[in-house]
Amino acid sequence: MQLIIDVGNTRVKAAVFDNTHLEELVYIDRNDFIAQIGIFAGKYPVTKAIISSVGRLSEKQRRSVQLRFPTILLTHETKVPFINMYKTPETLGVDRIGLMAAFAKAYPQTSGLVIDVGSCITYDYLDEKARYWGGAIAPGIRLRYEAMHNYTANLPLLSGVQEQELVGNTTESAMFSGVINGVLAEIDGVISRYKEEFQVQTVVITGGDGEFLSKRLKNSIFALSNFLLEGLNYILINSND
């Protein structure tokens, strides 16, 4: 079995796969990482692990995994099932690498756009020859709430996602409308441009708010909540360790 650890900007996900089958997914408290990951991994006969970290784990936390299992620390130099055409591969986020691996596995010989809705909204493009070209990074929903609150005198700090009419008739509803409807318009616009300019065949949306947004987009897309974990698992299974 494989242990997958995804360290994001706001939370840590840990999952165990039996080959390609997801057995269990949990959220780990970063401050109690060593104890919690030990308990979780101890429930299964794990043989190897991978750590993808865009957030921060201490050396001690990483070593707690490395000392128990053969472990891959995902970087731009890790073997992946696509050709990386990014001009600065050393700056490419490992979460984006994992997502491209997932797409290359799930949709071979298919051009695609993967949209990850988290702290930031990322757009990543892979062509039908499994060449990764890059994409775009934009503020996520939570960052937009925080920006309005932090850089104005009177706007409240909002949270969450909810259905919102175009015309907000209170300050809060107007803010929700601006953020939620703005993000929907942005994503739909980006998808349309990729389809027009690059003839993208398949679009996948993932991340914390992906399912909510997918039901409200005009474009036809696939909402896959565990797409990154599946990509990391694929990289681990096909590693040469």
The catalytic residues are 95
Four-residue CA torsion sign, 103, 21, 23, 63: negative
Torsion of CA 67, 70, 76, 82, to 10 degrees: -160
**CA–CA distances in Å: residue 13 to residues 3, 36, 91, 141:** 11, 11, 22, 20
Where b means 16+ CB within 10 Å and e means fewer, 13-36 reads: bbbbbeeeeeeebeebebeebbeb
